[in-house]
A and B are shown apart, each in its own frame.
Chain A
Amino acid sequence: MDTIKTKIKTRDFGEIEISEKDMILFPSGLFAFDDLRNFVIISPLGEGIYPMWLQSAEDEKPCFIVYNPFEIIKDYSPRLSAADKKSIDFSDGDELFYLVIAVVPTDVKRTTVNLKSPIVINRTKSTAAQIILDESYDIKFPIFREKGAD
């Protein structure tokens, strides 16, 4: 199948061209952004390097800087409820990955991520949802605190 290209406007990188297969569908949007359905992940630092940018494909303004939670705390163990699984159309064997949304203040060293409410992406079906975990993870987890004197 040919990859269909489409152009979208981004908050931070102007107009970019993306493949439609890279579009991720959020059937319920994100919390406080319930009406946005389609997002793309942009990797300005290179493939597989975080942070990445989660950009709305419908509106250039909503854009989030996202990290890989497993790079922040090694034993991160999100557990999906049945409702969470249903929201991303999960079936056994589907490949999942997680992102957490960062709040980047003027002092970048004080960046925090929301570990309590990760975004779970079903890579197999290109669907995603922001979920709230039962486990007691921090909503404002400072990502640079382990580096001490850094």
Chain B
Amino acid sequence: MKAMILNFPFFARKGLTDMLVITRKVGEGIVVDSRTKVTVLEAGKDKVKIGIEAPQDIRIVREELFDTEKQNREASNALPKDIMDKLLSENKE
């Protein structure tokens, strides 16, 4: 088991209809799939500190890192020739 602590900037996400919303007090937690425990360690005005205990094979990353990895993979795809030509010519003054 590993324990890690992450600091998340707190923000409300709108438009997500399939999100389970649970209110917890500091010190209380939730358990996901019998194997992963998420505990609220501290709650501030615009930040909460969360502790996660999960098996080693579960990869836990901050959302922005996950999204950046996804963006990087997408960004590295080769461009079709016409797009490439456009990019090279349109930016030329």
Contacts and interface: CB of A to CB of B under 8 A. Distances in A.
B79 interface: yes
B80 interface: yes
Given A12-B84, A132-B62, A136-B9, A61 B76 contact: yes
Interface of B: 9, 11, 62, 64-65, 67-76, 78-80, 83-84, 86-88, 90-92
B64 A116 contact: yes
B42 to A, nearest CB: 17
Contacts of A49: 91
Contact of A132 (B11, B64, B86): B64
Contacts of B65: 31, 117, 132
B52 to A, nearest CB: 18
B47 to A, nearest CB: 11
Contacts, number: 78
Interface residues of A, number: 32
Nearest to B88: A44
B80 A106 contact: yes
Interface of A: 11-12, 30-33, 44-46, 49-51, 61-65, 101-104, 106, 108, 114, 116-117, 130, 132, 134, 136, 139-140
A64 B88 contact: no
11 contacts: A31-B65, A44-B88, A45-B91, A101-B72, A104-B75, A104-B79, A108-B90, A116-B68, A117-B65, A136-B11, A140-B71
Nearest to A11: B78
A51 B76 CA distance: 14
A103 B74 CA distance: 7
Contacts of A136: 9, 11
Given A33-B72, A63-B76, A50 B67 contact: no
